[in-house]
Structure 1
Amino acid sequence: MTDDSRPSWRISQAEAVQMDILPGWYATRARRRRLAVIGAVSVALLWVNVVPAWTAERGDTPWPFFALLGFSTVLALPVISLLNVATRGVTALAEKQLDERQVAERLRATALAHRMVHGVLASLAAALLTAGVLVPDEIDVPASAALMALIALFMTNMMAPLLISAWRLPDPPPDDEDEDEDSRATPGAAQRIGGKTAT
């Protein structure tokens, strides 16, 4: 990719996340959190997929491996697209394309995601150490299982900031019409109070 094509790609990416695609799926905080949970499930399925990859006989890949991999992909792709639009590209765009509030939110989400990934790595290290102590023989790790674990770790690291940002994103403030109704009701109450005090 040449230097001339990079700005146009960034502009098109910024325009894409500003388009409201299926807004009913992420219009409220509850719906955004539902999408974030679906995204987390898609990542968890990748980790579960390590089991059939490990237990399969050498040279034989079982059908649950492909089923889980395909189902996880089907779940993850629309969730990533919709949450990038819902968060206006907080974790996807270049930092110079974000305002100060978005940059601050990106830093918070990234920091929390790093802690989460560190926890996953610590759990994996503890599991391997425990297996090494309990099983004195050498553990033969199939290449497919190692590859699946790397894919799961990559997707965890990639999706965690987006899922955290979507989970934390609050609902927008109420519309001006609601504020106008409240302001119309308040002066009436003030007039009645004023009338009472005047008598």
Structure 2
Amino acid sequence: MTGNLSERWQQAQAKAMEHDLLPGWYATRGRRRMLAAAGTFAVGLMWVDAAVSWSIGPSDDAARISLILLAVMFVIYMPAVTLLNIATRGVNELAERRLDERQVGERLRAIALAHRIMLGILVALVAVALAAGLARGGPGSSVPTTTVVQLSIALALTHFVLPLIVSAWRLPDPPPDDE
């Protein structure tokens, strides 16, 4: 039954990717890049949320700011990522057997570039954490648990959505129709 359920899910996912929802929002390279920038901004809000949590610590103000940032992030993130998935025709989401050779190549190039970008983010994160730890009092200083959780979520979210953003950013405009 699991294989059958999995196959039905993949078919439904492939069918959803073929549906043109708001095509004007991603019809041109410039608009796709705006959507990619919106998705990047939304993910960046999660990083800002973690920074706020670290800087003002566990408090009522930090909780309020965190909830506001999360609400704004979801309002931007959900439509942006949905439209990016449709714009790229599910290159990053569909099973490999549902893609042609060109799409598989696009996916691999996007994953490779996203991997290099993610490595840079990790190096920067370690550098910032070390510098902030030294500035706050050296090895004995601690990081609030909420900050660690939020950083972990921001890191995972970045890791999962970065190949999609890279794919949409690199996607060229379709050739003009010959009429």
Note the residue ranges of structure 1 that are not aligned, 5 or more in a row. 178-199
2:57/2:144 contact within 8 Å kept: no
For 1:102, the equivalent position in structure 2 comes to 103
- Matched residue SS, 2:168: helix
1: CA distance between counterparts of 2:57 and 2:161? 31
For 1:9, the equivalent position in structure 2 comes to 9
2: CA distance between counterparts of 1:98 and 1:6? 17
For 1:101, the aligned partner's letter is: R
For 2:67, the equivalent position in structure 1 comes to 66
1:43/1:156 contact within 8 Å kept: yes
- Residues 97-143 of structure 1 show CA distances to partners (whole Å, capped at 9, x for unaligned) of 10000000000000010111111111111122223444335222111
Q: Cα distance 1:170–1:57, how it changes in 2: closer, same or farther (>3 A)?
A: closer
Bigger relative CO (Cα 8 Å, ≥ 6 apart)? 2
1: CA distance between counterparts of 2:15 and 2:63? 42
Tell whether 2:42 aligns with 1:51.
no
For 2:77, the equivalent position in structure 1 comes to 76
Query: What fraction of aligned residue pairs are identical, expressed as a percent?
Result: 49
1: CA distance between counterparts of 2:95 and 2:169? 21
Tell whether 2:115 aligns with 1:114.
yes
- Residues 18-53 of structure 1 show CA distances to partners (whole Å, capped at 9, x for unaligned) of 000000100111100000000000011110101222
Q: How does 1:20-31 map to 2 (within 5 A)?
A: 20-31=20-31
Q: How does 1:150-169 map to 2 (within 5 A)?
A: 150-169=152-171
Deviation at 1:17, TM superposition (A): 0.3
| Aligned alpha-carbon RMSD (Å) | 1.5
For 1:41, the aligned partner's letter is: F
1: CA distance between counterparts of 2:85 and 2:133? 41
1:52/1:62 contact within 8 Å kept: no
1:42/1:72 contact within 8 Å kept: yes
Deviation at 1:57, TM superposition (A): 4.6
For 2:9, the aligned partner's letter is: W
Stretch deviating more after TM superposition (150-159 or 53-62): 53-62
2: CA distance between counterparts of 1:65 and 1:121? 23
TM-score normalised by L of structure 1: 0.84
- Work out which of the two has the higher radius of gyration on C-alpha atoms and give 1 or 2: 1
- Matched residue SS, 2:90: coil
For 1:130, the equivalent position in structure 2 comes to 131
Aligned length: 177
